[in-house]
Amino acid sequence: MDKDKYIGRLLDGRYEILEVLGVGGMAVVYKAMCHRLNRLVAIKILKDEFSRDEEFRARFQAESQAVAMLSHPNIVSVYDVGTSDGADHIIMELIDGISLKQYMEKKGVLNWKETLHFAMQIAKALEHAHSRGLVHRDIKPHNVMVLKNGSVKVADFGIAQVTSQSSTVTKEALGSVHYISPEQAKGGRVDNRSDLYSLGIVMYEMIAGRVPYDGDTPVSVAIQHINGGAVPPSQFNPNTPKGLEQIIMKALGLRLEDRYPSATAMLYDMDEFRKDPEMVFPEPEGAPVTPAPPVPPVEPKPVPQVTRTIAQRTAAGKSEKIREPRKKPEEGNGRGATIAIASCAVVGAIAIIIFLVILIQGDLFGGPKMVPVPPLVGEYYDQLGTIEGIVVVHQSSEHDPDTQKGQIIYQSPEPGIQVVEGTKVFVIVSLGRQEPDRTMEDLEGHTADEAELYLKGLDLGLNVKRFDQNSDDIPQGSVVRTEPAAGLPLTKGQTVELYVSAGPGIETKRVPNVLGQTVETAMRNMVLAGFHNVEPKEVDSDQPKGTVVEQSAKVDTLIESGRKIILSVSRGPKVPSTTQPVERTISYRFPLPEHSGSVKLSILCGDEWIVEDETVGKGVDGYDVTLTGMGSKDYSIYIDGDYIETVTVEF
């Protein structure tokens, strides 16, 4: 699929495709402008190979339409699903942020507060989707978007179910293998608890800086999921609170019944831990004991085939049972057997000696070479260079008050231990002294100057920027909100955005038609419509004196409510009329707008209510009233208290 072929095209007659945002295994995501609603959106368009598969397209459309029914602040909104010019697509909310994976790669190991902050939002998204019968099936940090205000949104709900049914979608599956549940790895049935397992993996990665299961091939990782036995994250990050670790390990239960039964239950424990970070949940009866820290793997070279064969035979000889002969052996044969047994014993002893020599010496018959592990604690990691015989692996970083940033504070295996040449030695590197945790205070309502003075006084080198934002509640010049939001962590050199109240926003109202009305009635109707800056101006006209013959604001348009409106009012005809008006009594039927039920009708003439709160039934299109007057009079009609129109009656 040529990903650029859609740029510049107008999809569905309204979405102008602007640029490519990203390319996935089955689709390309574009930024587009919706010209109907004047907003930016994201459009995911299926690649050609999938658009040609009718069965896949049908599943894609059905699943996407189901996802479009989800509505939650922590789920990326799906606006529409369709096909245009052969392009199967999903119209989605455009997210201004980065993926959680990118965030973790940028920050490294997250502290427990951030881990919990992100995890609870993901769990709330799952809770909502699960309540609608939708299982995500592909929860991973790549599918979680982090917004500038610290909130997260989960993307690609339901799409994994479509891709999992297509044998051609392999690249996406391989990218997700570190986060799949054991039942997914085995190709079994999944339910809500499969998503909770994947969430547990994401939490583990946030707090430990690594996934619990890793390997050289996707198959090896999948097998580890199936076998279970993940090492608790505290073995990689000793600052992991016990309560949070318990939540993670419960989510990673090997069997479905060992995990949380629902996202709601998992959220409950998260909230309990949030209230008391020192808490420890009671362990269930028969719970396994936490395993000891893992020993870094030794990677020996292959043992020569002849030696392995002898050793295998020797080992096998210990376990095999000697079968009883069916007939009694002859005396000669018995002697031969004795000699054979003695010979085998000698050969076995020689094999054991050779095997031990290989383990200790390591160079017999070209066997693996053994080297001692050098002392690395106290050395600066960036200055190590290449060390002959071993491979140094940076496992994680931790704050340590007694060492300089960059110094190694822990290594495994320990110095002096003999290991096979090429063995990996895992080290933990110091981050130096940990600065006190700083979080964004709630600055809403404080003046912008006060807020900026406070932030600069934190001695974090914060870059403070101000932006105007209309607000009906916050006084002008005071803080409406901040990014990051209150309660989120602050780091050195971070940019903090202050959104400062610019006062109430511009209010617009619809201009009524007051032409032909008396100036008094017209002024009153303008006020009722929300316009208070109205000024009458007399002009020459053949219309009766005091009649509005022109208005400066066009009828039925939306304008600012504070804008000045000029009403041109007739001075009256220059030649006096010879006709004297005569008072008359008439019956007049006032037209009523269509209404679906009973309404309250009121009719106002000048300062007098001709009709007040009269009940008019469904379907009635007019109301008869007996009127007395001379010349012409204006009558304003109200339905349920709302102004409808003004009618001029001639007598």
What are the structural domain ranges in the chain? 10-93, 98-110+141-154+167-275, 302-317+340-367, 370-430, 448-501, 508-570, 584-650
- The set of residues, in sequence order, having a beta carbon less than 8 Å from that of 68 and lying 6+ positions away, is 78, 79, 80, 81
Q: What is the per-residue pLDDT for 3?
A: 65
* The one catalytic residue among 138, 195, 269, 634: 138
Q: What is the per-residue pLDDT for 422?
A: 85
C-alpha to C-alpha distance for 108 and 115, rounded to whole angstroms = 12
Q: What is the per-residue pLDDT for 436?
A: 62
Question: What CATH architecture does domain 584-650 belong to?
Answer: Sandwich (2.60)
- The set of residues, in sequence order, having a beta carbon less than 8 Å from that of 360 and lying 6+ positions away, is none
Query: Residues 503-540: pLDDT tens digits?
Result: 877 778 899 999 999 999 999 999 999 898 999 999 99
Q: What is the per-residue pLDDT for 402?
A: 84
Q: What is the per-residue pLDDT for 267?
A: 94
- Residue numbers in the chain where pLDDT is lower than 70: 1-3, 25, 59, 62-63, 65-66, 158-175, 284-368, 435-437, 575-580
The answer to whether domain 508-570 has CATH 3.30.10.20 is yes
Q: What is the per-residue pLDDT for 102?
A: 92
CATH of 98-110+141-154+167-275, one of 1.10.510.10, 1.10.287.470, 3.40.50.150, 3.40.50.970: 1.10.510.10
Nearest partner of 43 among 98, 82, 100, judged by Cα? 82
Q: Which helix (H) or strand (E) holds 348?
A: helix 331-361
Q: What is the per-residue pLDDT for 159?
A: 55
Residue 92 CB neighbour total at 10 angstroms? 22
- The set of residues, in sequence order, having a beta carbon less than 8 Å from that of 74 and lying 6+ positions away, is 121, 122, 124, 125, 128, 151, 152, 153, 154
CATH of 10-93, one of 3.20.20.20, 3.40.50.720, 3.20.20.140, 3.30.200.20: 3.30.200.20
Q: What is the per-residue pLDDT for 317?
A: 38
Amino acid at position 107, single letter? K
pTM of the model: 0.46
CATH fold for the domain made of 448-501: Trypsin Inhibitor V; Chain A (3.30.10)
Q: What is the per-residue pLDDT for 1?
A: 59
Q: Which two tokens stand for residue 74?
A: 């922590």
Asked if 10-93 and 448-501 have one fold, the answer is no
Query: Residues 533-579: pLDDT tens digits?
Result: 999 999 999 899 999 999 999 998 888 888 899 999 999 887 665 66
Q: Is 449 a catalytic residue?
A: no
Amino acid at position 531, single letter? F
Q: What is the domain class of 370-430 according to CATH?
A: alpha beta
DSSP state of 235: G
